[in-house]
Amino acid sequence: MNSTQRVAIVTGAAQGIGEAIALRLEQAAANVVVVDLNLTLAETVAARLRTSGRRSLAIHCDVSQASQVSEMVGRVLREMGRVDVLVNNAGIAGKNAPLADVTEEDWERVMAVDLKSVFLCSKAVLPYMMEQRYGKIVNVASIAGKEGNPNLVPYSTAKAGVIGFTKALAKEVVGHGIHVNCVTPAVIETPILKSLTREQIEYMASRIPMGRVGRPEEVA
Residues with a known catalytic role? 155
Residues whose CB falls within 8 Å of the CB of residue 65, separated by 6 or more in sequence, listed in order: 120
Which phi-psi region, left, alpha or beta, contains residue 202 (left: φ > 0; alpha: ψ -120 to 50)? alpha
Candidates 48, 14, 44, 19; CA nearest to 217 is 19
Residues 198 and 188: their CA atoms lie apart, in Å, by: 13
Residues 211 and 204: their CA atoms lie apart, in Å, by: 9
Residues 194 and 50: their CA atoms lie apart, in Å, by: 30
Instruction: Give the type of residue at 111.
Output: M
Residues 90 and 118: their CA atoms lie apart, in Å, by: 9
